[in-house]
Structure 1
């Protein structure tokens, strides 16, 4: 168990991530000078001084007297941090032998391995890695604290005590400054995987630009420590996939209302200035429900900016791993250039699924479905005709057209769905009006009948007299 102190070790080379490192221009110190330690100095801080000097006998004596090898000073630095900075190979071997934690983080998120890398102590790097040390520094880390982005969230402020996985499993619920938030955590491999790092940066860049009632709100990110995270608003109602799994086929009026929510969010992205945003992964798991029952588009991990109105292309062929490939446009599967119309294709499949109550091409395996789309096949319409309000089936057919140019824009989709929604509402009003009319006639008839009965009773009573 590690112990802590209000003391601070200030001599020698400091943390590689500290905003202001002491000890000269590069933190070096002439170790030929003898350090005179105060007699009453805390034993834990004395251990750090001895590690800085490379005093093996002194270190061994203190550890055997009961001093904690994993003690942390006020900055969270351990004796292993100090030894790694100084490049004391024999000291590090002794500390590890005595049970030192190999990957402790100081207050700036730096580990002994990170410090050794910074000060180019190659033998120490090899030794620490041999004992399981892994680089924890976030690749987006800045050396000057003034360069830390405004959206940066201190990872220590995120409380995962009662955390649960939400949506696809990459998101977790957490508490941040008294509110529930959704946190997308990126694995340690993002540090060394250039593709994953680029995806993180792209998603972060997009989220900072987006603000719309039908798009999930970005709150901040953790980029200065590992694991890196993206923090967004938490929507407790879950995603559309879970909702459809519970409810099955939706009533036409609800399906159309949901369709309008999705279309409004997507239209905002497609009309984004100066460059449109392609979502490229629009499917029910990436659409969330808020407390009022409205939908919001989420998860921009595969999104792309359509620069200079030029089509984009995937860097590698599509790999089907889950249901998401059931919503991918054929031009993406064929690894061709594509534009915003791929999202319109995905929208058509979601719209039909809400009416039909089952996955697109539900009888087929995930990896078979994109091939069927490329072969110009589409999911069949099986629901009764009355489930499709006038004009909806035609809109779906147009949205999943083989030729992307024949697919409507989301601005056009909104107009069409608004007309369909108004038409449904008008039909419902016509159903209600006659019913109310008959109810009023019945009330009048009963009232009139009651009045006549009362009059007869009065006349009968008068005649008896």
Structure 2
């Protein structure tokens, strides 16, 4: 049974939801030492000090592990704030309630999340603690975003993974959709929640035939989810693994799809959108065979006059490094031209039939780019239409300013694509001409034979 006192414990870190815990309820007795006070309050004091043996003695003597001060705070709240993993574990073993709410509605888990005590977060979640609400929850019903989807509308009974366990197929209003889920066990990870928010903010802005279509999201309950159109033909990475090197005309057609989608993102107003993770696995194929750019988990919004920088150096375990521009790897400021660099590698891969520097380990590839190395051109020269190799080399230029924009890339690819069409007509032309002449000859020969036959019949009469 929980016990309470009129004393407020004020040492150490306070409730994550308290507006100003030291200035409320004037006249309430406050004690900031551990001597000569109620054993229950002393429990709070020893918890704050990290005195596990002292806590053990108090609990052995009968002190209530679930004692609350006047603000409804328990020793578990204090331990969670302080990040005392050993004490949190011991208090739970002694029967501490895992999710008590203080007068402001904060729980030990909420406090641990607020103070970024990750080991305590994991321990509390292991014992059944649950987040108070989704990180994007709003109290006023009028503030619920228009894109909000009721999770009850989602049928995930037969859902299967699409990629790396991040996306799953589900049914929503009679159609198959791709669902990106932020699992409950990572809601306490502020970096992942921030990335989720950023991706959602970007997807709401995007409407283009060569960019995956955003359908809605679940943000007012946990787990939070993002819904996009489901493209059953899979990604470009899997397609290239099956097909190998593509015909030049197909590769250029695909490159135009990618470039058009990326140009739309880069010319977005008032802020350009940098994808920053453009690679074959993030490019999807639709039913008509066209490509769509997808996965904006690490994308950035960029004011036209600004450059951006990663919060920390790139770690290859976090993302694929095989298509990352050297300035990102060197932890320098960058702009939209990082996507142009990645695009060059993808275009070359479609012609060559293998990933860039495929014989090197993933973590070694960005070092090669930073050292001014580029993947070799090994395919026969005829595979590279006039101007195509030069375009690739400009796109992966060491100096970002020398790389063309996607608007310029589209113009050049259109010219190359048209030239490939003309060559195709030239090759087919002579054969078709011969076939037409042959058909005319057969028709004339048949007509002549018919007239001769008719003439003979008349003569015999």
TM (normalized to structure 1)?
0.71
Structure 1, unaligned runs of 5 or more: 1-85, 89-111
Distance in 1, Cα, partners of 2:352 & 2:362: 18
Structure 2 residue 386 is the aligned partner of structure 1 residue 390 = yes
Structure 2 residue 109 is the aligned partner of structure 1 residue 113 = no
Q: Aligned pair in 2 of structure 1 residues 394, 137: CA closer, same or farther (>3 Å)?
A: same
Distance in 1, Cα, partners of 2:239 & 2:307: 34
After TM superposition, give the deviation of residue 129 of structure 1 in Å. Answer: 6.6
Distance in 2, Cα, partners of 1:130 & 1:328: 37
Matches within 5 A, 1:273-312: 273-312=269-308
Superimposed CA distance per residue, residues 247-274 of structure 1 (whole angstroms, 9 cap, x where no aligned partner): 1111111111111110000000000000
Distance in 1, Cα, partners of 2:321 & 2:160: 26
Structure 2 residue 343 is the aligned partner of structure 1 residue 357 = no
Partner of 2:42: none
Structure 2 residue 323 is the aligned partner of structure 1 residue 327 = yes
After TM superposition, give the deviation of residue 216 of structure 1 in Å. Answer: 0.9
Q: Aligned pair in 2 of structure 1 residues 116, 201: CA closer, same or farther (>3 Å)?
A: same
Structure 2, unaligned runs of 5 or more: 1-71, 75-97, 113-122
Superimposed CA distance per residue, residues 295-347 of structure 1 (whole angstroms, 9 cap, x where no aligned partner): 11111011001125211111111111388211000110111110000000000
Partner of 1:409: 405
Q: Aligned pair in 2 of structure 1 residues 262, 120: CA closer, same or farther (>3 Å)?
A: closer
Aligned match for 2:254, one of 258, 266, 279: 258
Matches within 5 A, 1:52-451: 113=99, 119=105, 131-135=127-131, 137-321=133-317, 324-451=320-447
Distance in 2, Cα, partners of 1:375 & 1:130: 46
Distance in 2, Cα, partners of 1:120 & 1:358: 53
**Conservation of the 8 A alpha-carbon contact between 2:310 and 2:328:** yes
Distance in 2, Cα, partners of 1:239 & 1:385: 28
CA RMSD in angstroms comes to: 3.0
**Conservation of the 8 A alpha-carbon contact between 1:136 and 1:227:** no
SS across alignment from 1:184: strand
After TM superposition, give the deviation of residue 208 of structure 1 in Å. Answer: 1.0
After TM superposition, give the deviation of residue 115 of structure 1 in Å. Answer: 5.8
SS across alignment from 2:343: helix
Superimposed CA distance per residue, residues 368-425 of structure 1 (whole angstroms, 9 cap, x where no aligned partner): 1000111111111111122111111111111001110110000000000001111111
